[in-house]
Amino acid sequence: MVLLNYMIEDEIVNGFWFLPQNPNSHFHGQLTFGPSSFPRLALIANKDTNLSDFPFNVEDYVIWGLGENGIAITLLGCNRLDASGNGFGFQTSIFNAQRIIIGDHINSEDELLFDSVEFSLENLEEWVNIQGFNVNVSSHDSYQISYERPKDLFFHINDQVTGNLCFRNNTPFSRNPIIRLSQENYFELKFNGQLSLKDVIENVWRMRQFITLMMFEETKIKWINVIKDNKKLKIFYKQSSKEDIVESDRLYLISLRVLGQRFELAIKKWFEIVKDLDPVIAILHSNIGKSQGFYQNDFLNMVQAVEAFDRRQLQDTQQLQAANEPRLNRILQCIEDQNDKKWLSERLTFSYEPNLRTRLTKLCVLHKEILFMDSVSKNQLKPMIMHIVETRNYYTHFDPSLEKKKKVSTVINQTFFLKMLLTYCILDQIGLDSEYLMPSVYHRYRIRLR
C-alpha cells in the first residue's frame, strides 16, 4: 500500500477487519477512499461467521483493520449501509466511515493527544515558488547543476501553535544515469501541549483556508501525518468533490514572495479573526475557484456573507442601538392601542440595522481604489450597488417585474464583484490593506463596470 498523496488520489486497501471488543472475529474486506466520497468498507463473512455484531441503528462504530502489509488501520464514525449475499451464500455488507487513521488501533478521536502535525497542500510548491536549484551554464557543452535545500520558514500563530513552512527534497541513490531531483513543500504545526485529533484537524483546516484565500483558487490537502512521541499516524477524511489538477501557470492573488515578511503576521491575524468570521469565510471559501452550484445560490450566499462580515467586524451595534432607542420610543408613544404598539415594537426591534445598500456603500468606499479600474467605474458604483440590491430583492421576494432584467451574465458579474469586495475586506483584517496590495493585484483583479 503506497500512500503519497492519499488525500487527493483514490486508494484501495485489502485486509482483515474486526471490532475492538471482538478481536478474534475477523472479516475479509476491501477499504476504498478518495477525495470525493466518504471512506467505504465492504466486508464479507465466511461460512463460520456472520455480521450480526454490526446492527444498523448504530452510527459510531469503531472498526479496526490489518492491511495486506500488516499495518494497523482504524476506521472512526462508521455506520452500516446495507447487507446482501455475494452469490456464494456468504453475507456481505457496506460501511461508511468518517475518518481513517493509518498506523495504530485506537478507540476514539479523544483517546490520543498529539504533539504536532505535518501536511501538504495541492499546488503549494507553485505558490511558494522558492527552489534550491542553481543551474550555471558556461557554454553549449558545459553546465553545472547544484542544489541546496532552502531553510524552513518559521512562523508564530499564537501561544498554543507555532509552525514551519518546510522544504523537503528527494535525492535518489541510483546507478541510473538519469537522476531526478524533486522538492516538496509542507507545513509543520507544533503544539504547546498536546491537542486532540479534532483540534489538530481544525488547525489544518484553518491553514488550508488561509492558503486558499492567498491562491484565490481551491487547494486540497495531499496528505496529513499526526505525530505523538515521534510516532507518525496518517489521517484521511473526505474533503470535497474531485477536480483535475490544473498544470497551467496561475495568477495567484498573493504569492508567498508578495507576502514576504508579512507572512507570519497575516497568519497570526488570520487565526485571531477566523472563528468570529467562520460562516463568512466558509461561504467565500466555497465560492473560490470553479463554482459547483447554481449561480442564483452563489449570488445570494455572497450577499449574505458580505452582510455578515460588516455586521460582525465593522458594525458598532451598541452605538446604533443607543442612537435608535429614542426614535423608537417616540414612535411607540404615539400609538395608543396596545396590540398595535406590541405589533409595531416587534417589527421595529432590529430597525437600527443598516440595509444592504448602506453596507455595500460603506465597504466599497473603503476599498474603491483597489476594486475599480478607472474613474468611470468609480462613477458607476452607485448604480452597481442599486442593481445588486434589486437582484437580491428579486431572488428573495420574487418580483416578476424584474425577471427580464436579471440576465445570467449580469448576476455572475455581480457575484464576482461581491466576492472580490469580501476578499479585500478580509485581507484588510489580516494586515493586507489596499495600499499594500495595489502593486500585486492592480492589473489582474480590478473591476471594470463599463
Backbone φ and ψ for 335, nearest 5 degrees, come out as -100, 120
Residues 119 and 240 grouped into a single domain: yes
Is residue 45 situated within a structural domain?
Answer: yes
Residues 164 and 248 grouped into a single domain: yes
Residues 299 and 152 grouped into a single domain: no
Higher pLDDT, 293 or 65: 65
Q: Domain containing 57: what range?
A: 11-102
Q: At what angle do helices 381-397 and 408-429 cross, to 10 degrees?
A: 110
Residues 305 and 422 grouped into a single domain: yes
Is residue 19 situated within a structural domain?
Answer: yes
Residues 40 and 189 grouped into a single domain: no
Angle, CA of 234, 240 and 244, to the nearest 5°: 95
Q: What is the pTM of this model?
A: 0.81
Dump strand ranges (E) for 10-160.
Answer: 11-19, 22-34, 37-44, 61-67, 72-85, 91-96, 99-102, 113-121, 133-139, 142-147, 153-156
Distance between CA atoms of residues 262 and 173, nearest Å: 39
Angle, CA of 362, 367 and 371, to the nearest 5°: 120
Residue range 233-249, pLDDT digits in tens = 999 988 764 443 333 34
Residues 95 and 152 grouped into a single domain: no
Residues 437 and 288 grouped into a single domain: yes
Residues 288 and 436 grouped into a single domain: yes
Is residue 345 situated within a structural domain?
Answer: no
Instruction: Please count the structural domains in the chain.
Output: 3
Residues 226 and 304 grouped into a single domain: no
3-state secondary structure (DSSP) of residue 31: strand
Among 54-68, 133-147, 263-277, name the one with the lowest average pLDDT: 133-147
Residue range 191-212, pLDDT digits in tens = 998 999 889 999 999 999 999 9
Question: Taking a C-beta distance cutoff of 8 angstroms, is the pair 220, 120 a contact?
Answer: no
The pLDDT of 353-366, averaged and rounded, is: 91
Distance between CA atoms of residues 385 and 357, nearest Å: 6
Share of the chain above pLDDT 90, in %: 40
